[in-house]
Amino acid sequence: MFSKILIANRGEIACRVIKTARRMGIKTVAVFSDADRDALHVEMADEAVHIGPPQAAQSYLVIDKIIAACKQTGAEAVHPGYGFLSERAAFPRALAAEGIVFIGPNPDAIDAMGDKIQSKIFADRAGVSTVPGNLGVIESPEEAVVVARDIGFPVMIKASAGGGGKGMRIAWDASEVADGFARAKSEAASSFGDDRVFIEKFIVNPRHIEIQLLGDKHGNVIYLNERECSIQRRNQKVIEEAPSPLLDEATRRAMGEQSVALAKAVGYDSAGTVEFVAGQDKSFFFLEMNTRLQVEHPVTELITGIDLVEQMIRVAAGEKLSITQADVKIDGWAVESRVYAEDPYRSFLPSTGRLVKYRPPAEGVKDGITVRNDTGVVEGSEISMFYDPMIAKLVTHGPTRLAAIDAQAEALDSFVIDGIQPNIPFLTALMQHERWRAGNLSTGFIKEEYPDGFTGRATDEETRAVLAIAALSMDLIRRERLEHHTGRLRPASGKWRTDYVVRLDREHIPVTVPEGYAAVPLEIDVTIAGRTLTVTSEWRPGEPVWIGSVGGDTVAVQARPAPGGTLLAWRGVTTFSRVMTPEVAALDALMPVKQPPDLSKYLLCPMPGLVVSISVAEGQEVKAGETLAVVEAMKMENVLRAERDGTVSAIKAKPGDSLAVDAVILEFA
């Protein structure tokens, strides 16, 4: 077994590998760019080596710098994580030339299956069912249009290298092909250093199901069941689960055996994943093979009890698999949410900055529920514009699918992130979505269910009651604390106040409490909307999450101070709250509502990012839908289009500018 390994990656996956290596008694070496000098993976590793500037193409993607770091520290092997160099066959070959072991598959297998175009050709020749498409590299926008018409719309324009949703565009007609081709090539080049793209048929209403494989260097390959990753946005996975609610045992076995046969045909000898697009009728087609560890591997680990990183290390050291196919079981259900630095209320655009607060839910096993949080940040970490926007992967495991979903919802509600806007409101709202809970999924789920973007979950009576009760209980606890504050002459006297009104945005909700209640810790019967509910909580002023029991159900409500009240968030509903007497509430209801300013004459930068191009000139007339500018953030190019017809009166930015959110790019007459 190795005594020291280097992790050629960053963020949560580097931390994940370090945890397993530490448990195995293996010392670790981290590498870091200028942007990651104070990152968590650098702190966790036994040693760390600086490898260059923030841009991945000048640091994490430079093979010579990784090899130099190995020689400097005496690392015997390298774990590539995912992304960066993990699927580039030149990397393990360069390592082997220096006598360094690659913790992953052999380079010939990467060549055969790691390239999307070559893997499809190989699979097609091997008799594996594949999605109809053109398996050649597309050289120009004009050729892309011809190929797309031959295949038939809609088509998927996809980068040959890499993954993670980068370099992928769907085109529904010829007019969308040229722009999609340019964006896919540009993203592929900046993310993977390889701008080759190909085109395949886009299957409508598909599901994304993948088989986890594990092979060794002695010819053994097994499959560790499936994961479903159908909840995607812009071709990037958001929610993953294992097993899939679609598959039955016969389909699972067929997909698994086909994947194993494919892996054996190319001599695959590590952890890898065969991805399929599946129809609602359980038909399936080979998409690609990811010759690396997947982002969503924790859900497989939780239902099988197998540490995939440990198995990769043992296989790389020459050990035979100690697990047979008969040993692989399915124990319960696991759900994973990718917590991204993306603002769900701004079309999920990147949100960069410093984590002023970062307090994930408690990890561990309690009452048959497991909570796991794979992360690469701590409170005070900076979310950089140079890398993927993922903050953490929150995983829950329970005996049933709904138990795992409900545990995920509670954990998300308890997840505190301030300083940037995470996608948690969307994730926790999705956990309540009836279609998701029923397992009626497709890769178009988010686009179909949120066609106009995410604006928050609609409130219902239960939600309003919980939020009003949380607001009132916090107010009562604050008052009790002030009553007994050190230095106060005496507590208030007189008749107990029992009638209150809680304002949630513009709605006023009457609430009644009994006299003589216990406020610290809170234990009280609250009457609201004709129901009396027992409420308990040990919340203290200043805590960012109100955790309590409402009618016997455990509830976690996010709470942040706001001018004149408290901002509350629960299950995807965010609302301003204020507790008042009935007399004050009657006057408050008469107050006018302040209207937001008119910004329709400005094109604002929707997120912190780098201006790639400006497509218009001053005085130019533009039509609705016309491209105005392209802004890049976190390796994704975002095309900003005109919302209506107009004339450009002033240009306030130029290519190469780094802009803050809501910075003015253009003005219109």
3-class state of residue 89 by DSSP: coil
> Which pair of structure tokens corresponds to residue 117?
């175009």
Of the candidates 208, 199, 206, the residue with the CA atom closest to the CA atom of residue 152: 199
- For residue 437, what are the CA distances in angstroms to 406, 433, 569? 10, 6, 21
> Which pair of structure tokens corresponds to residue 388?
């993927």
Buried b (16+ CB within 10 A) or exposed e, 539-562: beeeeebbbbebeeeebbbbbeee
Residue bearing tokens 């909570």 = 371
For the question of residue 448 being annotated catalytic, the response is no
Task: Decide if 434 contacts 458 (C-beta within 8 A).
Answer: no
Run of H or E including 486: none
Question: Is the sign of the CA dihedral 295, 297, 302, 308 positive or negative?
Answer: negative
348 sits in the region (left: phi over 0; alpha: psi -120 to 50; else beta) called: left
Q: Could you tell me where the DSSP H helices lie in 241-330?
A: 249-265, 297-304, 308-316
3-class state of residue 46 by DSSP: coil
Determine whether 520 is exposed, middle or buried from the number of CB atoms within 10 Å of its CB (0-12, 13-18, 19+).
middle
Of the candidates 432, 461, 466, the residue with the CA atom closest to the CA atom of residue 551: 466
Q: Which parts of 341-452 are beta strand (E)?
A: 342-343, 349-350, 353-354, 357-359, 364-366, 369-375, 382-383, 390-398, 416-418
> Which pair of structure tokens corresponds to residue 125?
């020749």
CA 140-146-151 angle, to 5 degrees, is 120
Catalytic residue among 176, 187, 241, 288: 288
- For residue 209, what are the CA distances in angstroms to 251, 255, 288? 11, 9, 11
Instruction: Just list the catalytic residues.
Output: 288
